[in-house]
Structure 1
């Protein structure tokens, strides 16, 4: 048994590099949109704050206390503001497995139901965020900034996500069943 394993290893030419690159894979072309600017702003502000936190803690051996709290809330904002871009592009994760094995009519119904559900969900989450923002009386511990600003921003992000989902619903409802299936297949498996 051991001899067979050793012989199997000898069959593989170790001088050849591993072929881990798929030549058919195409990278998505970067397209700039002004609605992506807030996400980029919060992301780079987060990078600067975390670098400042790292530098003061490990290089200067005297950490700034406010950087940890600000970094935590900036990370929250990056997540929600970045979600607007994901909804705008239609790049949220979805169950393509289910769409590939149902008929075109069922697929269109599922897609439209999914879009409608997203609109309702985002609208409801925006409502909840605004309710929390109106009731929030606290400020951040490290700097005198009301926490309600964060919840107002999150609520606005949910409203933008609901609007972009509505745009997707309108676009997809205008497509025929077969065009929609073709569009989904192209989204899953780009040319």
Structure 2
């Protein structure tokens, strides 16, 4: 019997492996999931409020665009952290899906090391930027709040992404060791 949407069964539309459970991590991935939900909710509320104000008053809140841009950047970084932890970051499948299982695991580990190195570097360099924003009393262009209020999140979330990549490296290493040891 074929499965169709009319029979109550949904056709499989997810990519292979998408229905897999989240990997076991020391810090739960629910943190990123809930932050994503909260940020998306805040973006929707801010945008909706601005649309209503524009519709009824022909003017808009000055702070909504600046804050929305900040939230979108934060959203992409939080989602990037979840993608790294779930090993769903972008890769060239020709290389990552070919060869032996050990080769694929080593490539995954190499990718995790490179992601960790990049985001630790971003975190370190952005700390200096935050310090400069604070020291020189930079203000945001739209509403004039201290710029470091926005920029302080870059080293924090970059460090979180780097630590998720380190966790992925460790998990992949354990998988390689378990598969290579004879039982």
- CA spacing shift, 1:47–1:29, aligned 2, 3 Å: farther
Which ranges in structure 1 are unaligned for 5 or more consecutive residues? 1-21, 181-191
Structure-2 residue corresponding to 1:140? 140
Structure-2 residue corresponding to 1:189? none
Q: Distance in 1 between matches of 2:47 and 2:114?
A: 36
- Report the TM-score, using the length of structure 1 for normalisation: 0.71
- Report the TM-score, using the length of structure 2 for normalisation: 0.73
Q: 1:127 aligns with which of 110, 113, 124?
A: 124
Which ranges in structure 2 are unaligned for 5 or more consecutive residues? 1-9, 23-28
Q: In structure 2, the residue corresponding to 1:165 is in which secondary structure?
A: helix
Structure-1 residue corresponding to 2:11? 23
Structure-2 residue corresponding to 1:153? 153
Q: Distance in 1 between matches of 2:70 and 2:176?
A: 43
Structure-2 residue corresponding to 1:76? 73
Structure-1 residue corresponding to 2:4? none
> 1:155: how far off?
0.9
Q: Kindly indicate whether the alpha-carbon contact (under 8 Å) linking 1:105 and 1:177 is maintained by their aligned counterparts in 2.
A: no
- 1:37-83 alpha-carbon deviations (Å, 9 max, x no partner): 33322221111111122222234312222212221222111112222
Structure-2 residue corresponding to 1:100? 97
Q: Distance in 2 between matches of 1:101 and 1:90?
A: 17
1:41 aligns with 2:38: yes
**Which structure would you say has the larger Rg?**
1
Q: Give the stretch that moved more between structures: 163-172 or 140-149.
A: 140-149
Q: Kindly indicate whether the alpha-carbon contact (under 8 Å) linking 1:115 and 1:166 is maintained by their aligned counterparts in 2.
A: yes
Q: Distance in 2 between matches of 1:62 and 1:135?
A: 34
Q: Kindly indicate whether the alpha-carbon contact (under 8 Å) linking 2:32 and 2:78 is maintained by their aligned counterparts in 1.
A: no
Structure-2 residue corresponding to 1:110? 107
Structure-2 residue corresponding to 1:60? 57
- CA spacing shift, 1:76–1:89, aligned 2, 3 Å: same
Structure-1 residue corresponding to 2:5? none
Q: Distance in 2 between matches of 1:110 and 1:85?
A: 19
